[in-house]
Structure 1
Amino acid sequence: MQETTRIFGIRAVIEAIESDKSIEKIYVQKGLSGSLFHQLNEHLKTGNFPVSFVPIEKLNKLSKGGNHQGVVAQISPVNFVELEQLVTRVTQSKKAPLFLLLDGITDVRNFGAIIRTAECCGVDGIIFPEKGSAQLNADTIKTSAGAAFKVPLCKVNHIKDAIFHLQSYNIKTVAATEKTNETIYALDLKQPVAIIMGNEAKGVSNSVLKSVDFKGKLPMLGSIESLNVSVACGALLYEVVRQRL
């Protein structure tokens, strides 16, 4: 398994940004200044990079004593695909694409387990928001059992925009939610479809629920009200597999 790459030094981080590397996180020393940092800061203000301002001791630890110049960045070992490129390619090659959208999954192990199940179920691409999602780090990749290198992964600014884009290709969007009387088993999942899974605590957001074509729930026969999101995702994806077999 390829570990997350860690780079340090202001110039190195600027070059990574300008080369469109998949940056997970940037750590910046509190109170940092100077002309080179000003150049970096312009990138940070215009990009969607997760940034933490930390004491120098944190940077010394992250760089293992290297000359970090007050900046360390973590670069994902996984390359991401653009939404339009992904959807165009898949819809041109398959009659019934299957996409998975993750609306605010925050636990890295849930994320990894979902990626693993998605690969096993033939998901054509996993789409998730740039902000408010679990990082695709070494723990995620390990939990995915390497599936993160096999399933196309796509970061977007807003899940709702991805939903509208998929719908423009006649892909039906299905939200997994308890806020419906319809079970997932009553839905036609043989058609082109995108399954939407929500946050571990809050589920699919209300704004997303208003945008989808269908809603479906898993029947709960016990006293506990909900499943772990990765388990629920597996149940839904395998219902898609069952219907398509």
Structure 2
Amino acid sequence: MKIITWNCNMAFRKKAEFILTEQPDILIVPECEHPDKLIFKNEITKPTDSLWFGNNLNKGLGIFSYSDYKIELLSIHNPKFEYVLPLSIKNNKTEFIIFAIWAQKPKKHDCYTEQIWDAVHFYNDLLKKENIILAGDFNSSSIWDKPNRIYNHTNLVNFLENMNIHSTYHIFYNQQQGKETASTLFMHRKIDRPYHIDFCFASKNLIEKIRNVEIGKYENWTKHSDHKPLTVLFEI
């Protein structure tokens, strides 16, 4: 199973053909327009299932299946955490719980991590299961930690690790949070402003099934978005 998360920087309908060359089974797309606006070229492969969530018709969170996996928003979804979506992703053989994420900036401060921090505590019991994945644009990094802020990025990572849920990129490449050698965002598309803020976390039973983790290269993706796709291949 191949999962890709890619913040498309809006207008997904014009960019789908490029990410689909990566052949995802499940594709998570922050900043995706409403399905009514997703008019693809005839030659573009159409998703077999999809779900969209948002308030702005031009800029929401899209999840697409290009396989036999079906997507369903779980009834436990708390609207307070709008863009942390607990999804059932299943076919006839297996089922996953995927939290599709597009972290939003709070009204009172600039720490995007707060929404995810509150959400993982709310969904604590669900996170204890196997086949758990959290993937998307976290807008968060340990380099922005404030020590006196309980919901900083490092504390979020530690909380998930205590739940036996780990970052696929950091496990696969044996790297530390905040010291990544590959970046997922180039602010304003400038090569001298790199950050690693898109993640795919997975429960321990899935970590053991990782076969590859890849981040798109700056020169290949910058004309399409300020973010680069993060691809994780599991042998399932």
TM, length-normalised to structure 1: 0.30
**Structure 1 or 2: more strand by fraction:** 2
Larger-Rg structure: 1
TM, length-normalised to structure 2: 0.31
**Structure 1 or 2: more helix by fraction:** 1
